Amino acid sequence: MSMNVGSNDDDGDDAVMSAINTTPLVDVMLVLLIIFLITIPVVTTSIKLSLPKERVEVRESKPENIIISVDQAGNIFWYDARIKNVDALVEKLKKVSSVKPQPEVQVRGDANARYEGVGKVLLACQRAGIVKVAFITEPPPLGG
C-alpha cells in the first residue's frame, strides 16, 4: 500500500490533487458484473417449451356462423331460441356440419356460468363433427 505525501519541491503552497482514484469504482463495477452474471441463469428456466404467441385477432361475424349462448343458469340457446337438451343441439349441429364449407360455431358463455354448460356445447360440437369452434369474449376495460 502506498501513500502520496506530496512532492519534495517547496513552493510553499499546498497543491490540490485533482486526480480521482477510480480503483474503488472499478472494484464495485466488477462485483456488480459478477452478481449479474450469477443471477441471470436463475431468472431463466431450464425447461424448454414452445409457448403460444399472444395476438389480438379480430373475429368477423359472418351470417353463416352459428352463435350458441350459455346463460348463467346453464341454459343453451341457438341464436335466441332455447334448446331443450344436448341431444337436440347435436341434431341441429349435425345438419349444419354437412354444409360445405362448414360454418364456425361461436360459443358465448356467461362469465358467471358453470363450466358444465359450456362443456355440454363443446361435447355436442364434437359429437356432431364440427371442426371450427370459437369462444366469444368481451375485451377488458382500458387501463385495467
- Look at residue 22 and tell me if it is in a domain: no
**pLDDT digits 0-9 by tens, 61-80:** 666 788 888 888 888 988 88
Contact between residue 120 and residue 76 where contact means Cβ atoms under 8 Å apart: yes
Q: CATH number, domain at 97?
A: 3.30.420.270
CA–CA distance, 120 with 116 (Å, rounded to integer): 6
What total number of domains does the chain contain? 1
SS3 133: strand
- Three-state SS annotation for 52-107: CCCCCCCCCCCCCCEEEEECCCCCEEECCEEECCHHHHHHHHHHHHCCCCCCCEEE
Looking at residue 106, its pLDDT comes to 87
Domain coverage including residue 83: 66-135
- Look at residue 86 and tell me if it is in a domain: yes
pTM exceeds 0.85, yes or no: no
